[in-house]
Structure 1
Amino acid sequence: MPLPTRDQEWPPPWMRPVTRMYLQHSAWYSGDPDRLAKAYGADTIPGLGLDLKGWDRPMAASGGFLGRVSRFFWGSPTPAGQSRSTKLHVPLAGDISSTSADLLFSEPPTLRVGGKKSQNRLEKILNEGSVYPSLLEAAEIASAFGGAYLRVGWDTTMAEYPVVDVIPPDASVPEFVSGRLWSVIFWRVVAEDNKQVLRHLEKHERGRVYHGLYLGDERRLGIQVPLSEHPETAHFAEMVDEDGGFASGYDKGLLVSYVPNMRPHRRLRGTQLGRSDYSGVEPLMDALDETYTSWLRDLRLGKGRVIVPDVYLQNTGRGRGSMWDPDREIYSGIGMLPPPGGSGSNMLTISQFAIRTEEHAATAKALVAQILRGAGYSTQTFGEASNDVVATATEIHSRERRSFTTRQRKIGYWNPTLSWMADVLLTIDRVVFGTKVSSDRALVEWPDGVQPDPESVGRTVNLLKQAESASADVRVRMVHPEWDDEQVEAEVERIRREKATEFGEDADPYVEAYLPRDDDLSG
């Protein structure tokens, strides 16, 4: 179906719970204290500190005054009489998302399609089109929001190949059928003026893409206006037909794929949307910020302060107040009796509170461990229990088993999208840019995810060589597991030639027997 033809609430009402959740997770991901305060209602109901669960539902349906509420540190306003907020935010949420992306795509997977020409063209598009950085971006966004969209498009004036861009899910209205993305509307605000909002809607269906421009307000979509009304959408006016859309060039499905971060969704059961890594640990991250804020408060209050009587203050003149010089050594005597059991020096009161460093550090460490565990990661992945001992790949997998288990689960959600992406890129490359390549879904090969210690690998290869239990071909593949057969054969040939040059024609028979023969290489 084409784009909406009548005025309606936007985003649609059924998206309210999802939108509210995206608002909170976006605030945690951004690391902006002001956005956190706004997301949790610090500027909505002064004096309460509430997380308004279900605040957008009718009062009767939500079960009382503004629905179910719970206390959040970021929901409490700045205390009266305090000029600025002293709340401290620990950006652990952003670290979780970036680490999730690194575990998946710091070493990019290999996409293999049939035909050498198609494979070379695909690799050119992936490298020159910066697709691998886009995958890192999508994985980080998916970790924060529970999912991300990959969209394939083209611009013949800027590039001679199709491109891939990433769209966050908080600006989308998806439709799923039988667990698969059937259609999706992406929207963005292109202009705001006098409470009027101009939105651009882009809808993707099987084989079709629609564009529309709507003039409404903050809550309503409004009426549809011509695409030529705004410079950012004017070029679409020449592309769309009378139905408001054009053929996508990919008849097998959409030019868009949704990648869920993890499923099932624990809050919205039955939805096909993915679950954020932050889901369920928001109260713990809120408590971590409160812990660090309390720690810094102890530091501020722990500064030594001296309380002196008025007679010790030096008058600086009428209307200019008084001051006390802490470096002054001699004061005139005071015509009064000293306090019982002391001298006049006891009239100086030194105030210095204890700084509870150990208590705060232990609390923060326990909260961080629980947050990472709830998000599906090992503390070792974040360097919480690192040491200087060099570990093998097996030991690293053992220590970080929870992180790599989460990685494997996420790989299962990424495989269909990566396979689809290769097919769409080559199809658009043939249809739009006229290249003579065949398109097909790719076979996705993932790296191990752990870089082995070069010294350990070198010792292993040397022991295998001394024990005469591995050929040069096997040893080269151990050192360079990412190489293909042609690269391995070329390296083995170079090793054979170096050995022949080193030992000459009178080489040891053992060496001659050990080195590969020319007929073996040719075969």
Structure 2
Amino acid sequence: MPLPTTDQEWPPPRMKPELRMYAQHGAWYGGDPDQLAKVYGGGVIPGVGLDLKGWDRPLTHGGGFLNRISRWFWGTPIPAGQSRSTKLHVPIAADIAGTSGDLLFAEAPTLRVSGKTGNARLETILEEGSVNAILLEGAELCAAYGGVYLRVGWDTEMHKHPVVDVLPADCAVPEFAKGRLKAVTFWRILAEDHKDVWRHLERHEFGKVYHGLYRGDDEKLGMQVPLTDHPETAIFAEMVDADGGFDSGFPRGLLVEYVPNMRPHRLLRGTSLGRSDYAGVEALMDSLDETMTSWMRDLRLGKGRIIVPEVYLTNTGRGRGSTWDPDREVYAPLGMLPPPGGSGASMITVSQFDIRVQEHQQTAKSLLAQILRGAGYSVQSFGEAGEGAAATATEIHSRERRSFTTRGKKLNYWTPALAWLAECLLAVDAHIYGTKVVPERARVEWPDGVMPDPEALSRTLDMLNRAQSASLDTRVRMLHPEWEDTQVKAEVDRLRDELGLNVPDPDELRDVIVPEAHDDTSEPASTS
């Protein structure tokens, strides 16, 4: 179906539960204290908090729903009379998303197609388009929002090849069929002035892309206006047909693929959307921020303070107040009797509160471990257990087993997406740039995620060699798993030459001149 032609609520009402979660997880991912307070209703005056069930309503101090907000640390307002917020945020959510991206794309996967020409062209597109860096960005957004969209496009003025970009899940209205993306509509706000809002809608269907410009308000999409009415959409005016769309160049599917972070979704059962790494640990992250804020409060209150009598203060002049010099040694006698059993020095009071370092540290450490376990990661992946001595790849996998298990689950969603990406890039490349490469789905090869220990690998290869249980070709491939067949063969030939294992071809020996054998039947030379 084409773009909307009538005024309607935007985003569509059916997207409200998803958008509420995107707002919540986006606030944790961004780490802005003001945004967290806004999402959970923790302003100066108690406001409306986040409620996935849609029970939002104006709150009053006597209302029964106020307790729902007060359970969130970020939902509590700033105390009356306090000039600034002293709440502290620990960016563990951003660390989780970044670690997820590193586990997936810190080392680039290998995409291969059948033909040499296709492989060469695909490699050019991936390298010049910095596709792996874009995928790393997409994996981070995917972990935070529960899913991400990969979109293939082109710009013939700036690039000589197709380009890839990633879009977070909170700016799209997807349509699924049997778990696969059937169509999707992206939107962005181009200009916003009070109630005058300009929106650009981009809809992707099989073999088609539609663009539309709408002028409405904060809640309504408004009526569709010509694309030429705004400079950012004027470029599409010459590309679209009467229906507002154009041929995508990829008739076998969309120019967009949705990559879920993890399924199933625990709150929206039956949906094809993925769940965020933060799902279920929001309250723990909230408690971690409360713990760190309490720790810093102890530091502020624990500052040593000295209370002295007024006679110990030095008058600095009329209207200039008085000062206390802690290094002064001689004072005039006090015009009063000292307290019983004491002297004038006992008039000085030192105020020093205890700083509960160990209690706060243990609480924060325990909360952190629960957050990472709930998100599917090992604490070792975040350096919490210490670096220690050098470890082999097997030991690292053992220590970070939970993290690599989560990585393996996510690869099940990224592998078909990357296979589609290669085919879509080659199809657009042929349609727009006129290359003769036949588009096809790629074979995806993932690295191990951990660099093997060179010493342990050398010992393994040595034992295989002495046991004569692996060929030279196999040992070279174990040492260089990223090499292609031609590189492996060349290395094997060099090693055989150095070891003297190469035997000449018998057919080549025929051309070798063999000296004539001595004829023993010949008559001996006569002697005189």
Normalised by the length of structure 1, the TM-score is: 0.92
Residue aligned with 2:239, SS: coil
Aligned equivalents of 2:236, 2:55: Cα separation in 1: 38
Cα offset, 1:319, TM superposition: 2.1
In structure 2, what residue type is equivalent to 1:36? Answer: L
In structure 2, what residue type is equivalent to 1:189? Answer: I
Residues 281, 475 of structure 1: alpha-carbon distance in 2 compared, 3 angstrom cutoff: same
Q: Which moved more, 1:110-119 or 1:281-290?
A: 110-119
Query: Is the CA contact 2:20–2:50 (under 8 Å) kept in the aligned structure 1?
Result: no
Residues 361, 113 of structure 1: alpha-carbon distance in 2 compared, 3 angstrom cutoff: same
In structure 2, what residue type is equivalent to 1:278? Answer: Y
Aligned equivalents of 2:346, 2:69: Cα separation in 1: 51
Query: Is the CA contact 2:307–2:351 (under 8 Å) kept in the aligned structure 1?
Result: yes
**Structure 2 gaps, min length 5:** 509-528
- Indicate the residue corresponding to 1:342 in structure 2: 342
Query: Is the CA contact 1:281–1:371 (under 8 Å) kept in the aligned structure 2?
Result: yes
Residue aligned with 1:280, SS: coil
Aligned equivalents of 1:403, 1:459: Cα separation in 2: 27
Cα offset, 1:475, TM superposition: 2.4
Residue aligned with 1:52, SS: coil
Give CA deviations for 1:157-196 in whole Å, capped at 9, x if unaligned: 1111111110111111111122111111100011122431
Aligned equivalents of 1:518, 1:296: Cα separation in 2: 78
Q: Which moved more, 1:339-348 or 1:383-392?
A: 383-392
Query: Is the CA contact 2:215–2:225 (under 8 Å) kept in the aligned structure 1?
Result: yes
- Indicate the residue corresponding to 1:15 in structure 2: 15
Aligned equivalents of 2:89, 2:289: Cα separation in 1: 5
- Indicate the residue corresponding to 1:267 in structure 2: 267
Give CA deviations for 1:351-396 in whole Å, capped at 9, x if unaligned: 1111111111111110110000000001111111134322222222
- Indicate the residue corresponding to 1:486 in structure 2: 486
Residues 517, 164 of structure 1: alpha-carbon distance in 2 compared, 3 angstrom cutoff: farther
Aligned equivalents of 2:483, 2:320: Cα separation in 1: 79
**Structure 1 gaps, min length 5:** 500-510
Query: Is the CA contact 2:50–2:56 (under 8 Å) kept in the aligned structure 1?
Result: no
Query: Is the CA contact 1:313–1:324 (under 8 Å) kept in the aligned structure 2?
Result: yes
Residues 519, 233 of structure 1: alpha-carbon distance in 2 compared, 3 angstrom cutoff: farther
Aligned equivalents of 1:432, 1:334: Cα separation in 2: 95
Work out which of the residue numbers 49, 52, 76 in structure 1 matches 2:50: 52
In structure 1, what residue type is equivalent to 2:457? Answer: V
In structure 1, what residue type is equivalent to 2:197? Answer: V
Larger radius of gyration: 2
What does residue range 148-167 of structure 1 map to in structure 2 within 5 Å?
Answer: 148-167=148-167
Residue aligned with 2:336, SS: coil
Q: Which moved more, 1:183-192 or 1:394-403?
A: 394-403
Cα offset, 1:464, TM superposition: 3.5
What does residue range 434-473 of structure 1 map to in structure 2 within 5 Å?
Answer: 434-473=434-473
Give CA deviations for 1:458-493 in whole Å, capped at 9, x if unaligned: 233234344544443222212111111111111122
- Indicate the residue corresponding to 2:515 in structure 1: none
Cα offset, 1:235, TM superposition: 0.4
What does residue range 56-455 of structure 1 map to in structure 2 within 5 Å?
Answer: 56-57=54-55, 65=65, 69=69, 71-455=71-455
Aligned equivalents of 2:74, 2:389: Cα separation in 1: 40
Aligned equivalents of 2:466, 2:447: Cα separation in 1: 29
Aligned equivalents of 1:33, 1:226: Cα separation in 2: 40
- Indicate the residue corresponding to 1:502 in structure 2: none
Give CA deviations for 1:66-91 in whole Å, capped at 9, x if unaligned: 89545111122222222222211111
Q: Which moved more, 1:102-111 or 1:149-158?
A: 102-111
Residue aligned with 1:209, SS: strand
Q: Which moved more, 1:326-335 or 1:346-355?
A: 326-335
Aligned equivalents of 1:236, 1:67: Cα separation in 2: 51
Aligned equivalents of 2:222, 2:503: Cα separation in 1: 77
Residue aligned with 2:166, SS: strand
Cα offset, 1:414, TM superposition: 1.0
Residue aligned with 1:211, SS: strand
Identical-residue share of aligned pairs (%)? 67
Cα offset, 1:56, TM superposition: 4.7
- Indicate the residue corresponding to 1:4 in structure 2: 4
The CA RMSD measured in Å over matched residues stands at 2.1
Query: Is the CA contact 2:40–2:69 (under 8 Å) kept in the aligned structure 1?
Result: no
Query: Is the CA contact 1:149–1:166 (under 8 Å) kept in the aligned structure 2?
Result: yes
Aligned equivalents of 1:158, 1:106: Cα separation in 2: 27
Residue aligned with 2:111, SS: strand
Residue aligned with 2:118, SS: helix
Aligned equivalents of 2:360, 2:56: Cα separation in 1: 41
- Indicate the residue corresponding to 2:41 in structure 1: 41
Residues 290, 517 of structure 1: alpha-carbon distance in 2 compared, 3 angstrom cutoff: farther
Residue aligned with 2:210, SS: strand
Residue aligned with 1:26, SS: helix
Aligned equivalents of 1:139, 1:211: Cα separation in 2: 27
Residues 280, 470 of structure 1: alpha-carbon distance in 2 compared, 3 angstrom cutoff: same
Query: Is the CA contact 1:52–1:68 (under 8 Å) kept in the aligned structure 2?
Result: no
Q: Which moved more, 1:390-399 or 1:12-21?
A: 390-399
Q: Which moved more, 1:179-188 or 1:139-148?
A: 179-188
Cα offset, 1:442, TM superposition: 1.5
In structure 1, what residue type is equivalent to 2:182? Answer: W
Normalised by the length of structure 2, the TM-score is: 0.91
Query: Is the CA contact 2:214–2:222 (under 8 Å) kept in the aligned structure 1?
Result: yes
Query: Is the CA contact 2:41–2:69 (under 8 Å) kept in the aligned structure 1?
Result: no
Residues 519, 268 of structure 1: alpha-carbon distance in 2 compared, 3 angstrom cutoff: farther
Cα offset, 1:55, TM superposition: 7.8
**Paired residues, number:** 503
Residue aligned with 1:84, SS: coil
Aligned equivalents of 2:341, 2:217: Cα separation in 1: 75
Aligned equivalents of 2:131, 2:253: Cα separation in 1: 20
- Indicate the residue corresponding to 2:519 in structure 1: none
Aligned equivalents of 1:215, 1:152: Cα separation in 2: 27
Aligned equivalents of 2:40, 2:255: Cα separation in 1: 36
In structure 1, what residue type is equivalent to 2:391? Answer: A
Residues 33, 65 of structure 1: alpha-carbon distance in 2 compared, 3 angstrom cutoff: closer
Aligned equivalents of 1:490, 1:278: Cα separation in 2: 49
Cα offset, 1:270, TM superposition: 1.2
Query: Is the CA contact 1:392–1:453 (under 8 Å) kept in the aligned structure 2?
Result: yes
- Indicate the residue corresponding to 2:517 in structure 1: none
Cα offset, 1:516, TM superposition: 4.1
In structure 1, what residue type is equivalent to 2:410? Answer: K
Query: Is the CA contact 1:426–1:438 (under 8 Å) kept in the aligned structure 2?
Result: yes
In structure 1, what residue type is equivalent to 2:51? Answer: K
Give CA deviations for 1:14-35 in whole Å, capped at 9, x if unaligned: 1111111111111111121121
Aligned equivalents of 2:337, 2:410: Cα separation in 1: 78
Give CA deviations for 1:257-306 in whole Å, capped at 9, x if unaligned: 00000011111111111100011111111111111111111111111110
